[in-house]
């Protein structure tokens, strides 16, 4: 006899459905894909492209009398820079809206407003994440996915030919639609804009909430608690169990080819999970962009990648190729 799933079980079930069926067996050659691959083929999928779309939609909604998107956009504009990795890390700096953060207790001994304040923080977090996810999905479906590749670099064809399986951090289906990679070879670790569980993004765990201002005392303490509840909804808890399930546990990877992946702090746990499937005989191949005539190993990307992988405990061979 089957029983209906509760909300948490339903969400976990949707996450596990991201595993391809059937999944690849005995993977020896893995490719790790980031947003740089979409950019390399001429698809406009930069963070600033998304922010421009968000602004246009927020202004349109505001003209119709709904300022909710405008309020969220203003928060995003204040805390983010220009890259996707910066965007995710910056979500830790999201503040409570003024109608919550400026709430004060007239009587320090009166706790009647405590529930109101914490509820306001939770509800704002739910609205923030829901509308941000909605805008992102719409942007991918309407603006990104319809774009055809402008070119297909040989380096990408080389990577696809070598790899037996792919872990992609992109929310697009470029590998399938434009390069013919079967769904069964791809793990969309953060979902896609069309997946039932929705896209998955957020700031790393272990973030410190920003100062919410005001006088210290019960009002301040409860504001901090409300803000922590808000940030908790924006934390991206790594789905490393999916990586282990996808790669299996009976052997080590012979090679990992990384293309367009930024090694952002929010993804360190994922990188650690992949490293756990390597040994000293593994080879990590990083495709790098640089100035004309510059050797791949001399690029800033190569230097950063080398430092991060070594710091995270990778002990195999590191090589760099031109993207």
Q: What is the pLDDT of residues 265-312, one digit of tens each?
A: 878 999 999 999 999 999 999 999 888 888 999 998 899 999 999 999
The number of beta carbons lying within 10 Å of the beta carbon of residue 42 is 13
Residue 119 domain flag: yes
Cα–Cα distance between 299 and 86 in angstroms, integer? 20
Provide the number of structural domains found in the chain: 1
Q: Exposed (0-12), middle (13-18) or buried (19+): which is 34, by Cβ within 10 Å?
A: buried
Question: What are the tokens at 317?
Answer: 């061979």
| Angle, vertex CA 290, rays to CA 285 and CA 296, nearest 5 | 35
Strand, coil or helix: 321: strand
Task: Quote the domain boundaries for residue 282.
Answer: 7-322
Weakly modelled stretches of the chain, pLDDT under 50:
1-5, 106, 212, 214-218
pLDDT at 287: 95
Residue 2 domain flag: no
**Max intra-chain CA distance, the chain:** 70
pLDDT at 157: 93
Residue 299 domain flag: yes
Residue pair 43/147 in contact by the 8 Å Cβ criterion: yes
pLDDT at 184: 94
Cα–Cα distance between 119 and 230 in angstroms, integer? 10
The number of beta carbons lying within 10 Å of the beta carbon of residue 100 is 21
CA distances from 186 to 20, 168, 287 (A): 7, 7, 19
Rounded to 10 degrees, the C-alpha dihedral 207/208/213/216 comes to 140
pTM, full prediction = 0.83
Burial track 119-158 (b if 16+ CB lie within 10 A, e otherwise):
ebbeebbeebbebbeebbbebbeebbbebebeeebebbee
pLDDT at 267: 85
Residue 202 domain flag: yes
pLDDT at 106: 47
Which helix H or strand E contains 125, and what residues bound it? helix 114-139
Residue 1 domain flag: no
Residue pair 271/238 in contact by the 8 Å Cβ criterion: no
| Angle, helices 268-275/240-247, rounded to nearest 10 degrees | 30
Beta bridge partners of 283: 255, 317
CA distances from 267 to 6, 7, 190, 223, 262 (A): 29, 26, 11, 29, 9
Residue 248 domain flag: yes
- Residue among 213, 317, 303, 312 nearest 268 (CA): 312
Cα–Cα distance between 288 and 290 in angstroms, integer? 7
Residue 306 domain flag: yes
Q: Phi then psi for 29, rounded to 5 degrees?
A: -125, 110
């Amino acid at each position: 006899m089957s029983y209906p799933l509760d909300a948490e079980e339903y969400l976990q079930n949707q996450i596990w459905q991201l595993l391809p069926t059937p999944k690849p067996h005995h993977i020896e050659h893995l490719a790790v894909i980031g947003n740089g691959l979409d950019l390399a083929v001429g698809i406009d999928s930069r963070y600033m492209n998304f922010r421009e779309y968000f602004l246009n939609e927020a202004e349109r909604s505001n003209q119709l009398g709904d300022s909710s998107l405008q309020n969220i956009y203003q928060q995003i504009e204040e805390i983010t820079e220009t890259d996707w990795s910066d965007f995710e890390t910056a979500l830790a700096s999201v503040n409570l809206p003024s109608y919550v953060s400026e709430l004060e207790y007239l009587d320090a001994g009166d706790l009647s407003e405590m529930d109101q304040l914490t509820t306001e923080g939770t509800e704002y977090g739910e609205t923030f994440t829901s509308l941000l996810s909605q805008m992102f999905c719409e942007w991918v479906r309407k603006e990104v996915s319809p774009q055809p590749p402008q070119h297909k670099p040989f380096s990408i064809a080389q990577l696809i030919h070598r790899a037996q399986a792919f872990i992609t951090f992109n929310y697009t289906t470029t590998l399938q639609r434009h390069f013919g990679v079967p769904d069964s070879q791809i793990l969309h670790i953060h979902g896609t804009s069309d997946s039932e569980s929705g896209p998955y993004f957020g700031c790393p765990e272990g973030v410190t909430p920003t100062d919410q201002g005001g006088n210290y005392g019960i009002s301040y303490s409860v504001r901090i608690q409300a803000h922590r509840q808000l940030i908790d909804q924006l934390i991206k808890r790594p789905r490393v169990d999916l990586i282990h399930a996808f790669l299996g546990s009976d052997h080590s990877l012979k090679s990992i080819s990384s293309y367009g992946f930024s090694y952002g702090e929010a993804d360190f746990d994922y990188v650690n999970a992949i490293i756990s499937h390597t040994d000293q005989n593994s080879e990590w191949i990083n495709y790098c962009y640089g100035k004309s005539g510059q050797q791949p190993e001399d690029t800033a990307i190569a230097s950063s990648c080398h430092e991060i992988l070594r710091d995270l405990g990778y002990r195999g061979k590191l090589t760099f190729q031109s993207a």
